Amino acid sequence: MLYRPDSDWPLVTVNATGKAVWDLLIEGYAEDEIASVFAQHFGLSLARARKDVSAVVRSLKDAGFCTPVSEKLRPASSTGCAPAGRGDTPSAGSSEVVQCGVFRFGQSTIRLRSSVADIDGHYFSRFRHRAAKDEMGADVLELSGGPSGYRLKFRGETVGDVGTLTELVGQTNELLLRLEHPKTNFLAYFHAGAVSRAGKTLLLPGHSGVGKSTLSAYLVRHGFTYLGDDLIALGEADWSVRPLPTCLSLKSGAWPILTALYPEIPDLPIVRCHGRDVRYVELRPAREAGDAPSIVLFPRFAKNGDRSFGRLAALETMTRLIETGTDLPRPATRTTLAELLRFVEVTPAYEFVYPDLLSARMMIEEWLDRPS
């Protein structure tokens, strides 16, 4: 089931093939790329795969779940937010250098520049709460085209030559994380949100669009502390939560739900990101780090009223973390992997199904308040 709360027909049912197409779409793959994958996997002709995939995409588009095919299901270059897929290819050329702002990460002042058409100042507006004065001594971080597709330069030196836009964004985020937490070695990176209350930290991994930002925003307005909702690193020594310091990213479906709690939402600028309209909400105070997660929750909204707190075995937890975008620092070692496995075995994890935000908060608080 795909759910759009802002639609007169909010639910669309898809079969396994439709789900596979949808998953690839939201990861940033173009229609032809999806057809090529299907042709190879199912032994179909490319023409047949294109016809079948096109039918699914057309149905999803008619229901309002993806951008027009003519846009190749990727954000336009003016949106300033990179696609989320692993299969994205370099742009045909680079645009002029754009000054994307000056920001503070840890003790470092960073001037961001980009000549990559898909990444401009809009993309970095999620760091606007870290904006700093343009100092003469600011370190320059520049994103541009390179021999492999894209290049990342920092302080005048090349720190990465990569083939895809996703890799470029990933390396940029990891570099900013290291600047934000300069004395911390990282055990792993999660695509997750994180909030805390009374010394207990919740890690909320999930695919884009699963609702973790909406849930985080609601919890924050009811006594929880915001840590992050995009990229969360885990400290190697103490498993502390080390977030990339982004604003809270709210997609259009969450705006009517949360406006009563965040009256500033209608006045915030709209940014096109990963094919969706988002608004960045600045939350203060936001801690720079959190304690080791007391619980890992994989959240899922259930329109039919279902609710559950289903404990996951370590293997299932690890599988879901990988599926939602967990990565290890490079180069990964046996020691690092063993420590991550120990974290998974020790930290309780649950599939968390809830029918509404109030029920979600009550279920979470009940778990947090129970005796240790």
% of the chain with per-residue pLDDT over 90: 51
Average pLDDT, the chain: 84
Looking at residue 92, what is its pLDDT? Answer: 41
Is 17:9 a contact under the CB 8 Å cutoff? Answer: no
Question: What does the alpha-carbon distance between residue 224 and residue 218 come to, in Å, rounded to a whole number?
Answer: 9
**Mean pLDDT of the 170-174 span:** 92
CA distance 227 to 202: 10
Q: Is residue 215 within 8 Å of 248, Cβ to Cβ?
A: no
230 Cβ contact partners less than 8 Å away, ≥ 6 residues apart:
126, 191, 193, 243, 244, 246, 249
* Region 216-223 average pLDDT: 95
**Average confidence (pLDDT) over 72-83:** 32
Q: What would the mean pLDDT of 2-27 be, rounded to a whole number?
A: 66
Which of 113, 133, 115 lies closest to 124 in space, CA to CA? 113
Cα distance between residue 109 and residue 232, in whole Å: 21
Taking every pair of C-alpha atoms in the chain, what is the biggest distance, in angstroms?
Answer: 60
Q: Hey, where are the domains in the chain? A: 2-71, 79-180, 186-369
pLDDT at residue 73, rounded to an integer: 28
> Which of 46-55, 274-283, 331-340 has maximum average pLDDT?
331-340
DSSP code at position 136: T
E strand intervals along 63-106: 98-105
CATH of 186-369, one of 3.90.1200, 3.40.50, 3.30.1380, 3.90.1570: 3.40.50
The Cα–Cα gap between 7 and 104 comes to 40
Q: Integer distance in angstroms from the first to the last C-alpha of the chain? A: 37
Q: Is the dihedral of CA 309, 300, 265, 119 positive or negative?
A: positive
288 or 350: which leads in pLDDT: 350
Q: What is the pLDDT at residue 21? A: 83
Separation between Cα atoms, residue 181 and residue 107, nearest integer Å: 9
Phi, psi angles (nearest 5°) of residue 63: -85, 0
Q: List Cα–Cα distances, 300 to 190, 228, 256, 334, in angstroms.
A: 17, 18, 19, 33
The per-residue pLDDT for 79 is 27
Q: What is the mean pLDDT of residues 277-297?
A: 85
**For residue 356, pLDDT beyond 90:** yes
Q: How confident is the model at residue 200 (pLDDT cuts 50, 70, 90)?
A: very high
Nearest residue to 118 (alpha-carbon basis) of 77, 168, 85: 77
pLDDT tier at 203 (50, 70, 90 boundaries)? very high
Question: Which of 176, 126, 169, 135 lies closest to 154 in space, CA to CA?
Answer: 176
Non-local (6+) Cβ contacts of 13 within 8 A are: 1, 2
Burial (CB count within 10 angstroms: exposed 0-12, middle 13-18, buried 19+), residue 333: exposed
Q: pLDDT tens, 327-336? A: 998 888 899 9
Minimum mean pLDDT range among 139-143, 207-211, 366-370 = 207-211
Give 19 or 8, the one with higher predicted confidence.
Answer: 19
pLDDT at 7 over 80: no
For residue 77, pLDDT over 70 is answered with: no
Residue 33 has pLDDT above 50, yes or no: yes
| Phi then psi dihedrals of residue 91, to 5 deg | -65, 160
Among 55-69, 216-230, 315-329, which is the least confidently predicted range? 55-69
- Among candidates 125, 46, 122, 30, which has minimal Cα distance to 85? 30
Position 53 scores a pLDDT of 87
When mean pLDDT is compared across 38-47, 293-302, 342-351, the lowest value belongs to 38-47
**pLDDT(313) > 80:** yes
Report how far Cα 186 is from the mean position of its chain's Cα atoms.
18
Question: Has residue 76 got a pLDDT over 90?
Answer: no
Q: 259-266: long-range contacts (C-beta < 8 A, 24 or more apart)?
A: 261/217, 261/218, 261/221, 262/217, 262/221
